[in-house]
Amino acid sequence: MLPLGRMPLQTSDFCVVSKKAVCYNGYENERFRVNDMGITLQQIADLAGVHKSTVDKVIHNRPGVSDAKRQMIRKLLEEHGYESNPLAKALNYQKNKFTAAVVLPSVDAAPALKVGTELLQQDFRSFNIEVQYYEPGNAAEEAECLRALCGQNVAGVVVNPIEDHAVADALKKLSDAHIPVITVNSDIDESARLCFVGQDMEQSGKTAARLIGLLLDGHGEVGIISSRAMHAVIQRRHAFESYLPECSPEVRIAEAVDIQEQPEYAYQQTAALLERNPSLHALFITCGCVPDVCRAVRDKGLAGKLKIICYERYPAITELVESGEISCTISGELEEQGRLAMRLLFEYMIYDHIPEQDQVYTKNEILFRENI
């Protein structure tokens, strides 16, 4: 459990331009009457029978709302004296203590994601928000943790969700309780989250397919090391498998194995894959446990002989790239993912600012020995 930092308000963010209009972060909005105990954005959405994001679009004069619905929402805003007043809400966060939760399963990405969330807290150190960290070991523990948060009066949640129906159901319960959720690093279907922050998985999978083709001069056999534990990993693999025949038709996928993101099992499955496929030229690792996969390759006497592509730039992966055991890695900027997810959650909690995009992508960066 770490205390959250505070960020001073910037006067440039709030500029009254007339008695009927207010400029907030570049948006000119109709000004509605407000008091500190007035109706909430969610209550307006419930009255209108729309999602909270639709009300936000009307307040900020954004497209995507029919004229009839826009007029109806504006009428409700006027009738109930609602004003999008980020300053008043921000001052409330400075006076009263609130709690946000960060739920990061015990996977390789967790430490870097956590660092990113901690960096962001320094920018918001003027707000009285406490951040609590949770590190579930599996899907059942994560679902239980998320269900428990429903009854703990948290103001918002950042989560790296495990691919599991129980986890998706727990996230829906948070949404039903009007607790905003942002998924980070991996998404999950039917989760009712506010938005996703992470790598563009389809682009990263296609990039890996192109790289394999280049490394193998357009022909050869590749084995896939993957997992079904995270949606992001599944997306990478599907993008790779669908694009490889198009960009490198003479590169064949020999076999794919599921290592379940378990270190010793990853070693065993990789060793067995290499034993069954002695003619392999390359490995594509979609998930974690990269050092364990490389250990199996090393023990088979194939270090530096197989072309290996993986993801991210943990210290262990950096060492393997520098030594030549890994040909290249595709970084998704994990720290930036954590920082962005936390910022979007805080801006929603404090200012009622709904993310403009459903999916917020970080850069895919290809790293070789020369630039890692």
**Amino acid letter, 282:** A
- Give me the domains of the chain, ranges plus CATH numbers: 89-193+337-361 (3.40.50.2300), 201-331 (3.40.50.2300)
Q: What is the 3-state secondary structure (H, E, C) of 151-217?
A: CCCCCEEEECCCCCHHHHHHHHHHHHCCCCEEEECCCCCCCCCCEEEEECHHHHHHHHHHHHHHHCC
Give residue 272's pLDDT.
98
Angle subtended at Cα 228 by Cα 223 and Cα 229, rounded to the nearest 5 degrees: 130
Sequential pLDDT tens for the chain (372 residues) = 333 333 333 322 322 222 222 232 333 333 333 334 467 778 888 888 888 778 877 876 667 788 888 888 888 887 877 755 555 555 555 566 788 999 999 888 999 999 999 988 877 877 778 899 999 999 999 999 999 999 888 999 999 999 999 999 999 999 888 899 999 999 998 777 899 999 999 999 999 999 999 999 999 999 999 998 899 999 999 999 999 999 999 999 999 999 998 999 999 999 999 999 999 999 999 999 999 999 999 999 999 999 999 999 999 999 999 999 999 999 999 999 999 999 999 988 888 888 888 999 999 999 999 999
Structure token digits, residue 325: 């055991």
Q: Cα–Cα distances in Å, from 224 out to 53, 233, 289, 313?
A: 40, 11, 13, 19
- pTM, full prediction: 0.75
Give residue 61's pLDDT.
64
Give residue 177's pLDDT.
87
Full DSSP string of 124-137: TBTS-EEEEEE--S
Give residue 259's pLDDT.
95
Distance in angstroms (rounded) separating the CA atoms of residues 65 and 77:
15
Tell me if 194 sits within 8 A of 183, measured CB to CB: no
Tell me if 351 sits within 8 A of 198, measured CB to CB: no
Give residue 22's pLDDT.
29
Give residue 121's pLDDT.
83
Tell me if 103 sits within 8 A of 145, measured CB to CB: yes
